[in-house]
Amino acid sequence: MNDALDVAVRLVVVFVVFLVLPLVVGQTEHKVMAHMQGRLGPMYAGGFHGWAQLVADGVKFAQKEDIVPAAADRRIFQLAPAVALLPYLLVLVVIPIGPSEGAVGQVVDAGIFFVLAVMGVGVLGSLMAGWASANKFSLLGGLRTAAQLLAYELPMLLAAASVAMAAGTVSLPGILNAFHWWWLPWQIVGALVFFVAGLAELQRPPFDMPVADSEIIFGAYTEYTGLRFALFLLAEYAGIVVLCGLTTVLFLGGWHGPWGADGLGWVWTLLKTAVLAFVVIWLRVSYPRLREDQLQKLAWTTLIPLALAQIALTGIVKVAIS
């Protein structure tokens, strides 16, 4: 009974985090973009900086009519948002935020493989949406999504493999236990490759070719309305949280910090994740969109060689110090 209660509490906590953090990131994005671009948007709802506009937006999404295009493949069209969103919830379960036993939803033996595998499944949602909408723009968006995923999955895996080699384990808490501060300069190239490839997998600017609004409206999500559209947006922000959390855990030392790591490890994790999320938003307002051929070129001629070089470096250092 006690075990069941423990599992239930963990799952509820992860679920609450899953519902709260993406919304916080979304609201931060609105506000950060507004201030960086000097056009403030809604500032009055709720008093402080218009925070209650988030609630109003949620109510608005819930009120909108749920439309399925006549020529669409109904069932797949309706299933797609769930396929896009749920993998991120599953990934969140295994990300450790603190040093203790209780600071991770569930310890998975092959944690790195689990998170990368499940994150890859999320893209199927975009593909299903793009195909089932019976819309040329959606189909183009789906195609671009697939091409982007195929190109960026490999460097992401290679960069993660480098950390696994350094730590000698593929379990996420195991990697954090093996972490030392000098891993930061040692794995910095891998960290950059991982983060950039992750951004591309989330289709965030400057890698937002699949949803490029000025060319193909909103890619695979063009035909979606109301709650289903909101779920796709939520999946994007959940993806940001997951990517930043993973980069923190794999490359930035997670709960390790210059001081106070014993009791306040989770603060360090959240702080690093928040800074990375801010960088994601910052990139959106400061970089132009990459063209399709530039996207492919960046992945195949820059990121993959860099990731391979990082693996070689990891191997050499690992042999040298052992």
Partner 1 sequence: MSATLAQAALTAPQGFLSPNGVEIAFLLVGIATLGAAVMTVTTRQLVHAALWLVVALGGLAVEYLLLTAEFIAWVQVLIYVGSIVVLLLFGLMLTKAPIGRSPDADSGNRWVALAVAVAAAGTLVWVVVDAFRTSWIDLDGPAQGSTKVSGEILFRHWVLPFEALSVLLLAALVGAIVLSRKSAPDDAPGDAPAAAPRETESR
For partner 1, the closer of residues 142 and 254 by Cβ is 142
Task: By CB under 8 A, name the binding residues for partner 1.
Answer: 71-73, 76, 108-110, 113-114, 116-118, 120-121, 123-124, 127-128, 130-132, 134, 139, 142-143, 146-147, 149-151, 153, 157, 169-171, 293, 296-297, 300
For partner 1, the closer of residues 22 and 125 by Cβ is 125
Rounded Cα distance between 226 and 266, Å, is 35
- Report whether 249 contacts 172 (CB < 8 A): yes
For partner 1, the closer of residues 123 and 191 by Cβ is 123
CB of 222: closest distance to partner 1 in angstroms? Answer: 15
For partner 1, the closer of residues 164 and 306 by Cβ is 164
CB of 115: closest distance to partner 1 in angstroms? Answer: 9
For partner 1, the closer of residues 17 and 116 by Cβ is 116
Q: Please, is 63 exposed, middle or buried when counting C-beta atoms within 10 Å of its C-beta (0-12, 13-18, 19+)?
A: exposed
Rounded Cα distance between 36 and 122, Å, is 31
CB of 138: closest distance to partner 1 in angstroms? Answer: 10
Neighbours of 274 (CB within 10 A): 17
CB of 45: closest distance to partner 1 in angstroms? Answer: 41
Helix, strand, coil proportions of the chain in percent (round to 5)? 75, 0, 25
CB of 107: closest distance to partner 1 in angstroms? Answer: 11
For partner 1, the closer of residues 51 and 113 by Cβ is 113
- Report whether 166 contacts 187 (CB < 8 A): yes
Q: What's the Cα-to-Cα distance from 153 to each of 123, 146, 198, 202, 300, rounded to whole Å?
A: 11, 11, 8, 11, 11
- Which stretch of DSSP H or E encloses residue 169? none
CB of 277: closest distance to partner 1 in angstroms? Answer: 24
- 238, HSE (Cβ side, Cα atoms, 13 Å): 27
- 184, HSE (Cβ side, Cα atoms, 13 Å): 9
Q: What's the Cα-to-Cα distance from 181 to each of 60, 87, 173, 256, rounded to whole Å?
A: 47, 31, 16, 8
CB of 290: closest distance to partner 1 in angstroms? Answer: 14
For partner 1, the closer of residues 114 and 183 by Cβ is 114
For the record, the structure tokens of 194 come out as 């991982």
CB of 169: closest distance to partner 1 in angstroms? Answer: 8
Rounded Cα distance between 72 and 100, Å, is 49
For partner 1, the closer of residues 114 and 179 by Cβ is 114
Q: At what angle do helices 265-286 and 188-202 cross, to 10 degrees?
A: 60
Q: Please, is 82 exposed, middle or buried when counting C-beta atoms within 10 Å of its C-beta (0-12, 13-18, 19+)?
A: middle
